[in-house]
Amino acid sequence: MHYPPEHTGNAPYTAGMVSALAEAGHRVRVVTGYPHYPQWSVHEGYFGLRYQDADGGVPVTRVRHPVPRDPSALRRVVMDATFAAHAAAVGRQGARRPDVVIAVSPVLLTVLAGLRWRKPGLTALGVVTQDLYSRAVSETGIASAGAGRAAAKLEGWLLKQADGVAVVHDQFADGVARLGVDRDRVTVIRNWSHVASGAGDRSATRRALGWRDDEVIVLHAGNMGLKQGLENVVDTARLADERGADVRFVLLGDGNQRSALEERGEGVGRLQFRDPLPGDHFSDALAAADVLLVNEAPTVAEMSVPSKLTSYFTAGRPVVAATWERSAASAEIRRSGGGVRVDPGSPQDLLDAVRGLAGDPARIDALATAGRAYAEEHLGAAAAHRDYQRWVEDLAASRASEGGTP
């Protein structure tokens, strides 16, 4: 469902995979939705039931689907099902049947659209799993526990129909295996940093954004949705007001919870909301902050890996993550050495962690250096793109074992 011009979430990674396959000489076609994330409104200029587009020579077919301004569980299901049905109705281009069809989850129901094409010996089906759908249903609280169990059964069944599943983190491989998928069919291909490190003058950027040199800027960049649990950040900013701390919490981006967060934070002096920034300005803002923040709702632990971490580490600033010890975000913090973790939903712990870093410049430098080194060594796009090429080519070759000709 997600593809540029959406610039956050899963879209940059899907676009990177498409670009890598096309550059390797494969003929690629994209079937996607109408751009709407994270604003949850269709971008201006996109109309009709289908919209033909192109991305660097790759044909893009966009299919219409509803976009709920308030994405409740039922409305999300309707949106996802409509997209999957409409995507499945898109026919092939020319006379040749596709060798490989790739479905990207979320949205999980796109796997159903992929199954419309899967045929042993002729067309292989691969699934890229960016989030664990059933864990998202359970952890965000958008549906009942019974619905979460039903979602797990559905997710397991759909993933077992695929010839191969690619996941973006090692912990997801374990989660997919618990859904009943054979580990031999699961491949880990990590997301990469798709944002360059900031090149602008740090002081000038801070002045342009209204940030003083004598205050600690804690920046959360990205979607403002349920799973981020940003009420914790608003409450931490309010606590900083009460304590007179020289700290400002900045929420940069958009999302379906932004208006509620702005209402909750009305009158909080150490809280700032900023609209999304384009390309270079975004990178410069990350580099100009003192601390970069990952915040997850207390109910969230295993559903996703915050994609913002790749950009954060590249920016070369220390990270504070309000997340549970068992989460994928926590695993990345430990592996990188680029930040510190506190429990989610605790404004006091979050404020203490930020003030502790602010009072220890040597530690800030050490964390920032470790994070950037980790990004350079492990989060490069070239390796991930090469892995996607190999994965797709292996899927195509696997058709021979089903009685077809690769």
**49 to 43, 65, 68, 90, 106: CA distances (angstroms):** 14, 8, 17, 12, 21
142 and 207 within one domain: no
Contact residues for 278 (Cβ-Cβ < 8 A; gap 6+): none
Do the domain assignments include residue 3? no
Instruction: Give the sign of the dihedral formed by CA 312, CA 192, CA 3, CA 178.
Output: negative
SS (H, E, C) the chain: CCCCCCCCCCHHHHHHHHHHHHHCCCCCCEEECCCCCCCCCCCCCCCCCEEEEEECCEEEEEECCCCCCCCCHHHHHHHHHHHHHHHHCCCCCCCCCCCEEEEEECCCCHHHHHHCCCECCCEEEEEEECECHHHHHHHCCCCCHHHHHHHHHHHHHHHHCCCEEEECCHHHHHHHHHCCCCHHHEEECCCCCCCCCCCCCHHHHHHHHCCCCCCEEEEEECCCCCCCCCHHHHHHHHHHHHHCCCEEEEEECCCCCHHHHHHHCCCCCCEEEECCCCHHHHHHHHHHCCEEEEECCCCCCCCECCCHHHHHHHHCCCEEEECCCCCHHHHHHHHHCCEEEECCCCHHHHHHHHHHHHCCHHHHHHHHHHHHHHHHHHCCHHHHHHHHHHHHHHHHHHHHHHCCCC
Contact residues for 196 (Cβ-Cβ < 8 A; gap 6+): 280, 283, 314
Residue pLDDT, tens place only, 225-245: 888 999 999 999 999 999 999
393 and 362 within one domain: no
> Cβ(10)–Cβ(191) under 8 Å?
no
Do the domain assignments include residue 313? yes
Do the domain assignments include residue 4? no
What is the rounded CA–CA span in Å between residue 403 and residue 159?
Answer: 22
> Cβ(151)–Cβ(128) under 8 Å?
no
pTM passes above 0.85: no
Do the domain assignments include residue 141? yes
Which stretches in the chain have pLDDT values below 50?
404-406
256 and 146 within one domain: no
Tokens of 204: 């000038």
pLDDT value of residue 402: 59
Give me the CATH number covering residue 289. Answer: 3.40.50.2000
Do the domain assignments include residue 1? no
Do the domain assignments include residue 305? yes
113 and 51 within one domain: yes
* Residue bearing tokens 């994965």: 391
pLDDT value of residue 143: 58
**294 to 6, 238, 305, 338, 341: CA distances (angstroms):** 21, 18, 10, 12, 9
Do the domain assignments include residue 346? yes
Tell me the CA end-to-end span of the chain in Å, nearest whole number.
29
361 and 312 within one domain: yes
What is the rounded CA–CA span in Å between residue 97 and residue 152?
Answer: 31
Domain that holds residue 117: 11-192+380-402
Instruction: Give the sign of the dihedral formed by CA 10, CA 11, CA 16, CA 22.
Output: positive
Tokens of 202: 């740090």
For the chain, how many structural domains are there in total? Answer: 2
Tokens of 317: 């600033």
Contact residues for 371 (Cβ-Cβ < 8 A; gap 6+): 312, 313, 316, 317, 318, 319, 336, 337, 338, 339
245 and 126 within one domain: no
129 and 235 within one domain: no
Residue pLDDT, tens place only, 138-156: 666 665 667 778 888 999 9
160 and 108 within one domain: yes
241 and 175 within one domain: no
Do the domain assignments include residue 94? yes
253 and 340 within one domain: yes
